[in-house]
Amino acid sequence: MADKFFLEVQEVRELTPSTYVIRFDRQNIQFKAGQYIGLGFKDYPYMRDYSIYSGENDDFLEVLIKEVQDGDLSVKFKLCAEGNVLKYDGPFGSFILNEKDISEKHFTFVATGTGIAPFHSFVRSYPNLNYTILHGVKNSSEAYDAHHYDKNRYILCTSKDSKGNFKGRVTEYIRKNSINKDGFFFLCGNGGMVYEVYDLLQEKGVSLDQIFLEVYF
């Protein structure tokens, strides 16, 4: 078994040729949905941060990873097998839901690519959550575990094919559609999308204290 500072791999599950989920023995690690952990190899100086993909009540710990060409770690993590051990740090982060709002408010989650990871954790952790997910990807094949969400609450925005729910970027969807201005908005993904949506929401009358950001890259 892994010790206090290490996690033992249970499974590596491929979602696309370049994106995968690593499942670990949880070891009773406590976290809040939306937080992240650092991962690396023993005796290797670098670590990378990944949002936790699994739910607060799952008996395992998962992260969602996309391979970065020439990256230090993402390609190597995919080669892990059951029983391998990775070092970790954390959990960290304040990109979390206020528990008193969970039963009272609507949440709009806006993500690009693997930026959907914290929202997957939110949905698994809070079964009665009133949410809408806008997920922006290039192709519909990148709708990671879309069947895990209520199909009436998950909107796939595809910029390269027409097999999603909306042809175009999430920013275009927000421009063309009404939003629930009384709820909270959580944005996670590439910086260009996050800051553009941040500005769009303000233009539509959403106050700054209703918007929360997590920039992935």
Report the chain (217 residues): mean pLDDT per 10 consecutive residues: 76 96 95 97 91 97 92 90 96 94 94 97 96 96 96 96 94 93 94 94 94 85
Flag whether the pTM goes above 0.85: yes
pLDDT of residue 4: 63
From first CA to last CA, the distance across the chain in angstroms is 33
pLDDT of residue 2: 40
Q: Which structural domains are found in the chain, ordered by start?
A: 6-92 (2.40.30.10), 99-215 (3.40.50.80)
pLDDT of residue 1: 37
pLDDT of residue 188: 96
Question: Pick from 20, 26, 21, 25: which is nearest to 10 by CA?
Answer: 25
pLDDT of residue 215: 86
Return the structure tokens found at 186. Answer: 């959580």
pLDDT of residue 68: 87
Residues contacting residue 166 through CB under 8 Å, at least 6 positions apart: 155, 156, 157, 158, 172, 173
Exposure of 168 in the CB half-sphere (CA atoms within 13 A): 9
In sequence order, what E strands does the chain have?
6-16, 19-25, 36-40, 48-51, 60-66, 85-92, 106-112, 130-137, 154-158, 166-167, 184-189, 211-215
Q: What is the CA radius of gyration of the chain?
A: 17
Looking at residue 114, what DSSP letter applies?
A: G
pLDDT of residue 217: 59
